[in-house]
Amino acid sequence: MDSSAPAFPAGAPLAEIHHLYALQSHLIDGGRAAEWAATFTADGTFDSPTYPEPVAGTAALTAFAERFAAGCVADGVVRRHVVSNVAVTGTDGQGAVRVAAYLQIVATPPGGSPGTERFTTLTDRVVRDGDGWRIAARTVRRDDTPGA
């Protein structure tokens, strides 16, 4: 193993983190807005250049996911979140982990070919909250943005 590669943070539950990201994708793609919002902490934030301003808190996150589902219906497409290369990249020393991942949004029109609408990078702060892990802060960056 390359000695310059960062060590996996002790105690970081990779399988649980991977499950969280898979679950989030299925929930938002399935129109389950409140359940998707519940994968964030009560004061969790979502900041993406695709949308005009960051979203914070359960009510705003639920409304955001409802708008996503409504947009799919209005556009007549099925959109899927495809999260890959999920990596726990560190800890804050207080129980939170940093997670980096890639996110593609794939849209499929009825009878048409799927196409990638966006390819982005996620940078998250993930915390143990109750019985599971939740996103406390998510920053989405386009690949053509510095720091992506």
Q: Give the whole-number percent of the chain exceeding pLDDT 90.
A: 72
Q: Give the whole-number percent of the chain exceeding pLDDT 70.
A: 90
Mean pLDDT of the region 79-92: 93
Residues 110, 30: Cα–Cα separation, whole Å: 17
Confidence at 14, pLDDT banded by 50, 70, 90: confident
DSSP string, 104-130: EEEEE-TTS--EEEEEEEEEEEEEEET
Query: Backbone phi, then psi, for 112, in 5-degree steps?
Result: -105, 180
Give the type of residue at 60.
Answer: A
The pLDDT tens digits for 89-108 are 988 888 899 999 999 999 99
pLDDT at 34: 98
Residues 116, 66: Cα–Cα separation, whole Å: 21
**CATH number of the domain located at residue range(s) 14-142 in this protein:** 3.10.450.50
Mean pLDDT of the region 49-59: 91
pLDDT at 106: 97
